[in-house]
Structure 1
């Protein structure tokens, strides 16, 4: 299997998230779901034939539109209803979507409870080993669920609003990127940005709900 195009079934579980500003933590119970083994590549995104670098300079809105387009192509029901900049999620749909923040962290941890699922240089491209550039997806060690590049290479958009009270519609980013110091490449680190942001160390990864 080409790991850059495969979807992995992530088992059910509970994950505890935390917010540094409010000092709040909360637990989320998750049913099984699917998550792409790797971030979406430039080739998959249509930005370069044969290019296995992670797609970058993709806004949250771009990612949502891509999820719907890919769902239609593959015969799934689109997960998102779009009305200009208003986006709602049809949770009964079987199409591709962005992971929730809880799904992302649960998948990243893969049953571990430390800051990372393995030694940093073995699992993540970060400022200390990347040469300050992205790298092909799937080239380093996967975690226990068979997922690659959850830490490092590019930050990944999640579905969730970061902190509506303070930051309005800013969305969550997770995972750290190729230009980040080691402390940003941890399972619990949260970043935020406006959903229109396009920058060269931000990409995304596909998820799908398992429907019955």
Structure 2
């Protein structure tokens, strides 16, 4: 887990042409997406459609799977659960110190690492995308991290965030960020937002975990 400082990030949405600033408190974010090995160690399951390789990012996991993993990892490490999970809803206990998904603002703030352009480095040096991935996911950490030491914030797999995308238009759909191994260069940018139903399983979608400040 990489400790990140507090700050401000400016979010934007291409569909609605809106921009909005968000204050981000200090927090911790995993340096890598959750891997197949980490997922199977905590859950006993290997849902990925890619061949079994420990350091490949886990994919084929829903948003619900991701929040359940966060609670299971917290339990494994003796930490209070961040989520109260019901049959049809999830509540975030912000006072709990357990693992959780990053908010959308936390995700983009971490991805940018103080930069203000579309990417934190030359795309082929930092991200696996359709142009260089051979249309396959790759092991985490194989490309250059951003200046805060976070790998694969762009490319490889899209990552679930905590936030609802647009409740009025899309209901319970949740935010995805980062672009994936099958995406064109345009999609692998710090500001690009994608949405998906929280129950869907997609072979280019994974997640990484966050915690509050130490």
TM-score normalised by the shorter chain: which range applies?
A: over 0.9
SS at match of 1:96: coil
Match for residue 43 of structure 1 among 19, 37, 47: 37
Aligned to 1:140: 143
Aligned to 1:21: 15
Aligned to 1:3: none
Aligned to 2:114: 111
* Cα deviation, residue 21, structure 1: 2.4
Aligned to 2:61: 58
Matched, 1:158 2:152: no
* Cα deviation, residue 85, structure 1: 2.0
Q: Where does structure 1 differ by over 6 angstroms across 4 or more consecutive aligned residues? A: none
Q: Which runs of 5+ in 1 are unaligned?
A: 1-6
Q: Which runs of 5+ in 2 are unaligned?
A: 41-45
**1-structure distance, mates of 2:13, 2:130:** 25
SS at match of 1:115: coil
Deviations 1:25-46 (A, max 9, x none): 1111111100000000011111
**1-structure distance, mates of 2:23, 2:123:** 28
Scaled by the length of structure 1, the TM-score of the pair is: 0.95
Aligned to 2:194: 191
Aligned to 2:205: 202
Match for residue 74 of structure 1 among 67, 74, 77: 77
Aligned to 1:34: 28
Across the aligned residues of Structure 1 and Structure 2, the Cα RMSD in angstroms comes to 1.1
**2-structure distance, mates of 1:166, 1:52:** 37
Q: How does 1:91-102 map to 2 (within 5 A)?
A: 91-102=94-105
Deviations 1:75-127 (A, max 9, x none): 11100001112101000000000000000000000000000000000000000
Aligned to 1:131: 134
